Amino acid sequence: MTAVAIKKGQTRERAPGFKEMGTLRCDGCGEEFSILHDPSSVNATVAAKQAHWLEKVLADEHERERKHPDRIQLPD
């Protein structure tokens, strides 16, 4: 696991030691997700691409009337 998005405000999911690369707010419901990278693979360009990917995933979940999970594995 090199990158993950974790929903802010929940207490169950954590990524200790990971570096926060940014926050993305879902346009549909306003929930916020922190984009976190393993310290050995921190990359701002990749984080920007992952944020764009995550935006589409969150929108798709709203179209399918699904709740967002607390943790979403991000593509490398």
Q: What is the pLDDT of residues 44-76, one digit of tens each?
A: 999 999 999 999 999 999 999 999 999 999 998
What is the amino acid identity at position 12?
Answer: R
pTM over 0.85: yes
- In the chain the beta strands, taken as DSSP E runs, fall at 3-7, 19-25, 32-37, 71-73
- The whole-angstrom separation of Cα 11 and Cα 16 is 13
Quickly tell me which residue has 């990158």 as its tokens: 3
7-51 pLDDT, tens digit each: 999 989 999 999 999 999 999 999 999 999 999 999 999 999 999
Which secondary-structure segment (H or E) carries 54? helix 44-63
